[in-house]
Structure 1
Amino acid sequence: MQKPRIIAAGGVVTNPWGKVLLIFRRGYWDLPKGKLDEGETIEVCALREVQEETGLTQVQLGPKLGTTYHEYFDKWSHQDVEKETHWFAMTAEDGQHLVPQTEEDIEQIIWADQTQIDLCMQDTFPNIIDIMTKAGLYQGT
């Protein structure tokens, strides 16, 4: 039996100094992303989710970086699901206040330089490493 598929979108957000926005949720460093709403385009979803999860208001959508897939147990539907996430490069204006979306269990948001990225990628998910590598922001250690 095929698992239900959840479609989501998110972003690899950089600021004018080349730092990358990372969120800390449920014990792991992650990138902002979330589920596609009915009638929404994948691009609109990506921007909306980044804004909702981080508090950013000035975000520009860039090119698509790729699509990742992973499976997990969905506590809402009480079943195993496959998540298909579409990732986009994004840029954010400087000086915006970051606000972690606590109802999504986001505890912390940082603008990470390369040293911080390398450290954070040690406590993240394989698909995040994949998309950060595709974005040219992580080479592995």
Structure 2
Amino acid sequence: MAQIYKIYINEVALIITDSQPTDIQDYQVLQVSKFNFFSFYEQARELSSPKVFLLLSKNFKSHFMKIKQSMKMIRAAGGLVSNEEKRYLFIFRNGKWDLPKGKLDSGETIKEAAVREVEEECGIQINSLGEKICNTYHIYEMNHERILKKTSWYRMYAVNQKVLIPQLEEGITDVRWLAPGDFMMIRQNTYPLIRDLLNAEF
């Protein structure tokens, strides 16, 4: 299996890897010799429709580390939460469907942050924390500074949590349990990162 790093920039996914991916069909290959990340970033952030770019290199880890070291990185954690009815928990924030997640507090472990953020954002209690699904990376800007956010995603389980309370102060206006058969609604109005995570799981 190919080792990859995938960085999301708004609607764009940049895949940095050492071998051709077999599970992705539609992408544009970038020339390693001419690749400049910040030039690429400025172009990528202006694209309004989903697009995948591939940077193929034997030194893929080095390319990723240069990007990582060039900006501030913060850690976050969240969850894909299921219940006894095999439904999954989604939040609606800033006009899009999303999965609950948030930044680590000082002195907090990643697993602790994942559970706390889900509980706070959705007004529920997590009964059990499962295995880690993956880490994702996305870049955004705050106060004119580029931030690389690394989010660790975990499977979680919540029993008999019918009452959901969106954390309004975090911009969350809706929280819902949805069956996989209803995920098309999510996929049509979410971020590429969340869409890719759901496609890998379901």
- TM-score higher than 0.5 here? yes
Distance, in Å, in 2 between the alignment partners of 1:45 and 1:133 is 25
* Other-structure match for 1:67: 135
Between 1:118-127 and 1:101-110, the stretch displaced more is 118-127
Distance, in Å, in 1 between the alignment partners of 2:117 and 2:72 is 21
Decide whether the 8 Å contact of 1:57 with 1:96 is kept in 2: no
Per-residue deviation, 1:78: 4.3
2:152 corresponds, among 62, 65, 86, to 86
Give the number of the structure whose alpha-carbon radius of gyration is greater. 2
Runs of 4+ in structure 1 off by over 6 angstroms are none
Correspondences of 1:1-141 after superposition (within 5 Å): 2-74=70-142, 77-134=143-200, 136-137=201-202
Distance, in Å, in 2 between the alignment partners of 1:8 and 1:57 is 19
Q: Which segments of 5 or more consecutive residues in structure 1 lack a partner in the other structure? A: none
TM-score normalised by length of structure 2: 0.63
After superposition, the CA RMSD in angstroms is 1.4
Identity rate, percent: 43
2:80 is matched by which residue type in structure 1?
A: V
TM-score normalised by length of structure 1: 0.89
Between 1:51-60 and 1:97-106, the stretch displaced more is 51-60
- CA deviations over 1:63-108 (Å, ceiling 9, x no partner): 000000001122xx54221110000000111244211000110010
Distance, in Å, in 1 between the alignment partners of 2:144 and 2:116 is 26
Larger RCO (CA under 8 A, 6+ residues apart):
1
- How many pairs does the alignment contain? 134
Q: Which segments of 5 or more consecutive residues in structure 2 lack a partner in the other structure? A: 1-68
